[in-house]
Structure 1
């Protein structure tokens, strides 16, 4: 997936950890709407920040090229739908980041993960359930 080949930016929030900030905002809008034209997205983004229509057109084209949006022709305009759901996106990002960490930094990554989990009783309970399920599956 070409959208995972970029830089991971842990200091950014949400989808912008993987995509550019404007790409992330466009994806959030399209996930919320389910389907949108460039005009739809441009109007929504312009309520927050004034940008040229062609800027949004370029961003949406790039997101389609990366495999995140599906472009359909509607007369002279184009409609875009998400190629992956928000949950699929988050899961793939998490899988890729964790795989990369464990491949190169297994021990410190695991240690920091456990330190983070132990501070949250709910997350600790979830981890315990997952471990029990794995043990049951292994027999």
Structure 2
């Protein structure tokens, strides 16, 4: 799966809804998208592209299709994070963490949480 293509912004927006719902019909996705609502055909086309890319599968109900994520949000997160680490931080998790710590202006609670995670994984 690591050679899987990244999602475009529009595809990711639709995948977020499918992940949230666990699957659904095109009309369900359209209903959940913010105003101004995209046309039904636009959403339908993007979902078919997602199916071609291997992100989505479908179940047939007569003439309509219910679309189901083939890849979980967690799996996609791992792929994207891996690419980010490889392409921008020379596979160095500490470089990536240091970048986020410096750039994000994290608050004390964020830093506390990060330290807890580090402690938990220090075994």
Whether TM exceeds 0.5 here: the answer is yes
User: Residues 42 and 121 (structure 1 numbering): CA distance in 2 closer, same or farther, change over 3 Å?
Assistant: closer
Structure 2 equivalent of residue 88 of structure 1: 75
TM-superposed CA distance for 1:110, in Å, is 3.4
- Residues 8-33 of structure 1: CA distance to partner in whole angstroms, max 9, x if unpaired? xxxxxxxxxxx333222211111111
User: Residues 55 and 121 (structure 1 numbering): CA distance in 2 closer, same or farther, change over 3 Å?
Assistant: same
Q: Does 1:122 align with 2:109?
A: no
**Which segments of 5 or more consecutive residues in structure 1 lack a partner in the other structure?**
5-18, 134-139
TM-superposed CA distance for 1:112, in Å, is 5.4
- Partner SS, residue 36 of structure 1: coil
TM-score for both structures, normalised by structure 2: 0.74
Q: Tell me which stretches of 4 or more aligned residues in structure 1 moved more than 6 Å.
A: none
- Partner SS, residue 73 of structure 1: strand
Of 27, 33, 48, the residue aligned with 1:61 is 48
TM-score for both structures, normalised by structure 1: 0.67
Number of equivalent positions: 114
